Amino acid sequence: MGISPAESGSPEKEQQAAGVGILLQIMMLVLSFVLGHVLRRHKFYYLPEASASLLIGLIVGGLANISNTETSIRAWFNFHEEFFFLFLLPPIIFQSGFSLSAKPFFSNFGAIVIFAILGTFIASVVTGVLVYLGGRMYLMYGLPFVECLMFGALISATDPVTVLSIFQELGTDTNLYALVFGESVLNDAMAISLYRTMSIVRKHASSAQNFFMVIFRFLETFVGSMSAGVGVGFVSALLFKYAGLDVDNLQNLECCLFVLFPYFSYMLAEGLGLSGIVSILFTAIVMKHYSYSNLSENSQQFVSDFFHLISSLAETFTFIYMGFDIAMEKHSWSHLGFIFFSILFIVVARAANVFSCAYLVNLVRPVHRQIPLKHQKALWYSGLRGAMAFALALQSVHDLPEGRGQIIFTATTAIVVLSVLLIGGSTGTMLEALHVVGDSHDGHLGESFDVNNGYVAPSFKKDGTSGNGIKMKLKEFHKRTSSFTALDRNYLTPFFTSQNEDDEEEEEALLDERI
């Protein structure tokens, strides 16, 4: 979706074309925000904001396709995955981590990790294996096994922006919201790491050591990126604590530095060959927990509003240009069987992901605190595919030869459009059918948080259920989590922040509720 000059013509013509292109982009953005506001104000949930933005891009792209301006417009509306990954995605991911509601997120952290890490791995492998078997059985176009796993990894990246916005509007259970939101945040990082690992394995496929290479490369990418993000976050916390920037005449500098640190984290990881998504996500979590409290009150308000603003612009921008590029790009529609069976396999893989992980989570929770089946169904239904899957599929066009990347891109395009328009538009009906609407008593997610909501944070008290071996391991993990909570409260927070005693008491109460 990068902006590039026209390939031919005089400088005056190029400048005029640039102006018209940028004007059209701004007009689509304005139309998307206004239309989204009208739809939200009238509570018309059959066409969410993301779906409306995608439709606007599809309509404008379709009009450009049947007009004589296609060539000149295409130069200004190409969806370049480099532009998406380097400029649009960072603010979206940072805002996701920065806006995490600590209480429901950390209280369900174990379940979120299981769904996002183990669940995404299960979904990727199941999708890849089914696509490979489908090709071997001549049900669909056959791909090599590693490329099937690449497709499974990229299509497992969920993007439930539409579902979450409707969750907030209708008021659903805080734990359900935390699970869907937390899974989507970590899921993107996991999917990108898996895709890049599979891509490296494909380029160096030679021996039986591939399996160990996959494990090593994934751990290297994920752990290295996480370490880089946490390190940058801690450095920013110390800077804002000791640099003395929280005075009136230095607030501009304070805000500028705070905005630059996330991009520094992202580009540092990318420069080291790691995952900038993972890095900036953990930078966001650390900066919100430690660095944010070191800012002046005015700066805190500014950075919160700023990141919310640019993430909203980036998300809307992304859906518009996805729609525009879908209408303008040449797609390989000759393999409809691949598209049809891919959709079926993704539904099966999502079910295997959600219900198997929910079984593991419920195995160690008391009966009255288990994730109910209706929430599991809502979580399964919330697995929309969006910008992340689209960008990775576009990248696969360059990564995979002989048109195989184009087939994957076409299938992903169809899946994204169907999931955003059909699933996104039917989310309100789904919530009402599952009777999960209004579970949050006050309508503000993250504030109503008790057992009356249906289930609460996992408890590790002794009971008579089965799975004692797994429960003992979970108890040990809970003890380590409690130890880390105490470490954070007693050492990390005082060391990295300059909060007063009242803030410490408030933070201590919050951390106690995480246990």
Q: According to the 3-state scheme, what is the secondary structure of 118-159?
A: HHHHHHHHHHHHHHHHHHHCCCCCCCCHHHHHHHHHHHCCEC
Helices 145-155, 387-399: inter-axial angle, 10-degree rounding: 160
> Within a domain: residue 424?
yes
Q: Is residue 231 within 8 Å of residue 160, measured between CB atoms?
A: no
Confidence (pLDDT) at 505 = 47
Q: 128: which residues sit within 8 A by CB, 6+ positions away?
A: 145, 148, 149, 150, 151, 152, 153
Q: Which two tokens stand for residue 387?
A: 């910008």
CA 257/CA 243 separation, integer angstroms: 11
Does an H or E element contain 311, and which? helix 297-328
Separate counts of helices (H) and strands (E) for the chain: 24, 0
Most confident of 89-98, 154-163, 261-270, 457-466: 261-270
The predicted model scores a pTM of 0.76
CATH number of the domain at 415, please. 1.20.1530.20
Q: Mean pLDDT throughout 234-249?
A: 82
CA 136/CA 144 separation, integer angstroms: 10
> Within a domain: residue 300?
no
More confident residue, 429 or 452: 429
For 366, counting Cβ atoms within 10 Å of its Cβ (0-12 exposed, 13-18 middle, 19+ buried), the class is middle
**Three-class SS state of 316:** helix
Supply φ then ψ for residue 385, to 5 degrees. Answer: -105, 140
Q: Is residue 265 within 8 Å of residue 279, measured between CB atoms?
A: yes
CA 288/CA 100 separation, integer angstroms: 9
Q: 45: which residues sit within 8 A by CB, 6+ positions away?
A: 166, 169, 170, 425, 427, 428
Percentage of residues in the chain with pLDDT exceeding 90?
A: 16
> Within a domain: residue 84?
no
Quote the longest CA-to-CA distance of the chain. 80
Percentage of residues in the chain with pLDDT exceeding 70?
A: 76
More confident residue, 176 or 267: 267
Residue 339 CA: distances (Å) to CA of 330, 336, 343, 413, 414:
16, 5, 6, 9, 7
Q: Is residue 56 within 8 Å of residue 320, measured between CB atoms?
A: yes
> Within a domain: residue 303?
no
- Domain that residue 371 falls in: 96-293+329-434
- For 459-485, how does the pLDDT look when each residue is reduced to its tens digit (9 = 90+)? 444 444 445 655 555 555 555 545 556
> Within a domain: residue 454?
no
> Within a domain: residue 386?
yes
Q: Is residue 6 within 8 Å of residue 294, measured between CB atoms?
A: no
> Within a domain: residue 307?
no
| Strand-pair partners of 385 | 158
Q: Mean pLDDT throughout 254-260?
A: 90
**Three-class SS state of 385:** strand
Number of domains in the chain: 1
Q: Which two tokens stand for residue 111?
A: 């379940």
Q: Mean pLDDT throughout 441-457?
A: 41
Q: In one letter, which amino acid is 4? A: S
Does an H or E element contain 257, and which? helix 251-271
Residues 274, 279, 285, CA angle at the centre, nearest 5°?
A: 165
Q: 368: which residues sit within 8 A by CB, 6+ positions away?
A: 451, 455
Confidence (pLDDT) at 357 = 92
> Within a domain: residue 116?
yes
Return mean pLDDT, the chain: 77
Q: Is residue 46 within 8 Å of residue 425, measured between CB atoms?
A: yes
Helices 387-399, 404-418: inter-axial angle, 10-degree rounding: 170
pLDDT at 268 over 90: yes
Confidence (pLDDT) at 131 = 94
| Strand-pair partners of 140 | none
pLDDT at 169 over 70: no
For 483, counting Cβ atoms within 10 Å of its Cβ (0-12 exposed, 13-18 middle, 19+ buried), the class is exposed
Confidence (pLDDT) at 123 = 93
**Three-class SS state of 8:** coil
